[in-house]
Copies of this chain bind each other. A is one copy, B any other.
């Protein structure tokens, strides 16, 4: 398992687009982000370039343009980010963190029963 690159706040937005919509040209990424950010197209190109340098995205050529796609797994990146978040804020102790999250979250009845199911399942282990 290779080491995951560190993805910055802004870069996360780009990665999420690429994870969800597969290989895209730079312009398609720009289009996907329209409305969600006020970034200039150039800014987005820069972010893509940086992600490539970090090894977080790869590309395949299509004519003279590239189609970019993620080179790292979303699940892994998310896991790492969660881990680093818990360590930073709670010093690694998970339970108080979860408790705070749950208390603070706006959850629908459905959400709640979903989460309870997960807990019950874990309890059975």
Contact = CB atoms under 8 A, between A and B. Distances in A.
A39 interface: no
Interface in A81-123: 81-82, 84-85, 88-91, 94-95, 98-107, 109, 111-116, 118-120, 122-123
A1 interface: no
A53 interface: no
- The secondary structure that dominates the A interface is helix
Interface of A: 9, 12, 16, 78-79, 81-82, 84-85, 88-91, 94-95, 98-107, 109, 111-116, 118-120, 122-123
16 contacts: A12-B88, A78-B90, A79-B100, A94-B106, A94-B111, A95-B111, A98-B102, A99-B118, A103-B118, A107-B122, A112-B122, A112-B123, A115-B119, A116-B119, A116-B120, A119-B119
